Each structure stands twice: as structure tokens, then as C-alpha cells.
Structure 1
Amino acid sequence: MIRIAVIIGSTRPGRRAESVARWVADTSVRHPGVAAGEATVEVVDIAAYGLPLLDEPVPAAFGRYAHAHTRRWAQTIGAFDGFVFVTPEYNRSVPAALKNAIDFLYAEWHHKAAGFVGYGVHGGLRAVEHLRHVMAEVKIADVQTQVALAMFTDFTFTDPTDPTDPGTCTPGARQESTLVTMLDEIIAWSQALKPLRVPSTAPEPLSA
């Protein structure tokens, strides 16, 4: 079975990423592979891991994690075969919290597949393009199809004039079809890369 994590890539209070991730997870249950039990989709919220700004004394490529929060994050990511990154666009890039969470680890990302659901005024397109470059460095195969959610057409707001209203992610059928295609690609690539992956174990802490 292929395990896919929907990673909530924003930690901002009032974030819209949580609503987007719920839409991805709720829609994914109608994907034929998920419905047949060939794949599972789970939401992973980086805010729940309490990751500080990168504080490991040794670069992640060595896999020698000194801190409990890093080992907990590594154990979670290591257990998945593929990812859907949900990201807004901040100044033409991804949130610092998402980049930071990626940089904490290295081998746990290797030989897995990823797709992207961006959102924002421009659908998060520029953030996703930046994220694709990051994926290459951690040896993740990013799929071509991506979902771009526009603030004015794919969300419903109680008060559109209130900037603190996170709204609700309510995309139409076209976006759902795109998401299903993206999941097709993630599952296929995750399966294809499976022989390259090794079982992940929590890295040993650095000795005192």
C-alpha cells in the first residue's frame, strides 16, 4: 500500500492551508486507488511538530539528529511513500516554515513522489515553481500535474472584506478532476520508486 501525506505548509494563525488540506483529503477518498485500498491519504500538519528554526548541529545529510523534535519529524516523514504539499505563496515563494521543515531532514525524503496544491491570488504558481527546485535537492520526483486554487473563485468567505476571514476551500469539478489526475501520478511514481527506498528507522541521537 502507498501512503501519501498531505502536508499543511503554513503555520500562520488564520491560515487557509488547513481548509485546503481537508479538501484534498476529502476528495481523495473518491480516487479509485484510495477507494480500493491501494493507497491511503493522511494529513500531516507541520505546526503540530513544534519545529524551531533549524537547530541541528550536524547537516541533515548525515542523518545524525540531536533533538527529539527532529527525530519525531523524521519518523513521520520516513513512513510515507509520497506527498501532496499544500502551500500558499509568500513573496513569490513558499512559507519559511515549510522550507524549514523540509531542511530538517534529508534521507527521509529520498526516492518518493510529490505533487503540489498551491493557492493564492495567482494560485500559488510561483511558490510551487520554487518548491520544485527544492524537491530535486532532496531526491523527490515531483509530478507534472498540479492544482492551482485562486482566492476569488475557489474559496467561499463569510466576509470577503475581512482579511482575517480564512474562508472555506470550495473548488469546482475541474479542480477535483485535476487533483485526481495528480494523485494518479503520485501513486504511479511512488510505486515505481519503491525498489529504491529502504525501510526508515528513527536516526540515533548524537552522543553527548
Structure 2
Amino acid sequence: MRLAVIIASTRNGRFGPTVAEWFTARARRRGDLEVDLVDLAEIHLPSTLRDHDEAAPPRVVEFGVRMAAADAFVVVTPEYNQSFPAPLKTAIDWLYEEWHTKPVGFVSYGRESGGLHAVAQLRQIFTELHAVPIATAISLPCYWDLFAADGTWPKATASCNTAVRPLLDQLVWWARALRDARTARPYPV
């Protein structure tokens, strides 16, 4: 299974790469996943969307190829003002069919809510795109408290350490089921 892990934050001093590195390291330990780490800060997608009859810019085409190749997605997102970062919405909106009938998991971080407001909105958006948001998610409230005294991340006692396996198990189950369904018959849109 090909898993695309998308780092949503593009902000200077962002924490997203730290979370994504931790999560992808865990995902790569599995024998059934090939992980593609997609950092929106490195891709530099245009913020102005094209009209329907205009060709997509090369960066968008490359991004679309990577997303189309994925069997499943995990979005690593902070919560800004009870929502998710604007560059993530732009990335989502550049594509359409690439999201169809694929499962989406979430790893969120933020203040006390741990990013759950952002995840709630993303679930609605991905459902509209005919993707399948899975129920299990990883939330990191007050994520700065998870650092160990020596700077390692996360502390061995952090609950997120045991949350990775259920998320990935469900994501892989859905990815297989949906891939088999897509292979058996086209999805009606």
C-alpha cells in the first residue's frame, strides 16, 4: 500500500515536520506500507486556482501524480484559529479525482483541542471529495508538553505512541477494501 503523508503547515518555525517525521518513522516500520512524505512548504503550489478549461501548472501536475499513486492519505495538520492552514485547502482544491475512494487519516496538533476542530472540518471536505475519512485519529493537545527533557520527541509516556498502530491498521484495511472495490468496478460520480 502506498501512503501519502501530507504536512499541512507551511509556516516558519512550524512543528509539522517533527510530527510527520515521528509518524512516518512508525509507518515505515510496517512491511505493508510504502510512505511518500509530502511537505506542502516544499511543493509551493500556486495559491490561485485555475479555471476548469485551463491547464494545471507543472507543480500541480506533479502533486496530482503523487496523490493519484497513493492508496491512502494521512494529513498532519495544526489547528489555526479553530481550523486548518489555508495552503492545505488550496492543495485539496487543486485536485478532485485523486482523492476519490481512498481513506484519509489525521494526525493533528494544537493547544488544548489538539487540532480536533481542524480535523472535524477536514472530515467534511474529504467526504465531499468522495474520500473516506477514518474514525481513528491522533490528536496532540498541548504538543509542546510531549517533548522529553533531553529534546527527544515524544516522551515514552505520551499516549500518541500507542495511537499509531490502530490508525495505521484501520487505514490499511480501508485502503485494501477500497482498492479492491475500485478494481472490481468504477466508482460512480
The CA distance in 2 between the partners of 1:143 and 1:66, in whole Å, is 30
| 1:112 corresponds to | 102
Residue 183 of structure 1 aligns with an amino acid whose one-letter code is L
Shift of residue 44, structure 1, vs aligned partner: 1.0
| 2:43 corresponds to | 49
Residue 98 of structure 1 aligns with an amino acid whose one-letter code is L
The CA distance in 2 between the partners of 1:144 and 1:157, in whole Å, is 33
1:58 aligns with 2:52: yes
| 1:15 corresponds to | 14
Q: Secondary structure at the match of 2:37?
A: strand
- Identity over aligned residues, as a percent? 39
1:177 aligns with 2:171: no
Higher RCO, Cα 8 Å, sep 6+ = 1
> Given that residues 115 and 143 in structure 1 are in contact (C-alpha distance below 8 angstroms), is that contact kept between their aligned partners in structure 2?
yes
Can you list the C-alpha shifts for 1:59-101, whole angstroms capped at 9, x where unaligned? 8xxxx74321211111111110001100000111110011110
Q: Secondary structure at the match of 2:159?
A: helix
The CA distance in 1 between the partners of 2:41 and 2:24, in whole Å, is 18
Q: How many residues align?
A: 180
| 1:147 corresponds to | 138
| 2:174 corresponds to | 189
Q: Secondary structure at the match of 2:5?
A: strand
The CA distance in 1 between the partners of 2:99 and 2:39, in whole Å, is 16
Residue 19 of structure 1 aligns with an amino acid whose one-letter code is T
Residue 39 of structure 1 aligns with an amino acid whose one-letter code is L
Can you list the C-alpha shifts for 1:77-134, whole angstroms capped at 9, x where unaligned? 1110001100000111110011110000000111111110000112101111111001
| 1:162 corresponds to | none
| 1:125 corresponds to | 116
The alignment's TM-score, normalised by the length of structure 2, stands at 0.87
| 2:79 corresponds to | 89
Can you list the C-alpha shifts for 1:182-202, whole angstroms capped at 9, x where unaligned? 00000000000003447xxxx
> Given that residues 82 and 117 in structure 2 are in contact (C-alpha distance below 8 angstroms), is that contact kept between their aligned partners in structure 1?
yes
* C-alpha RMSD of matched pairs (Å): 2.1
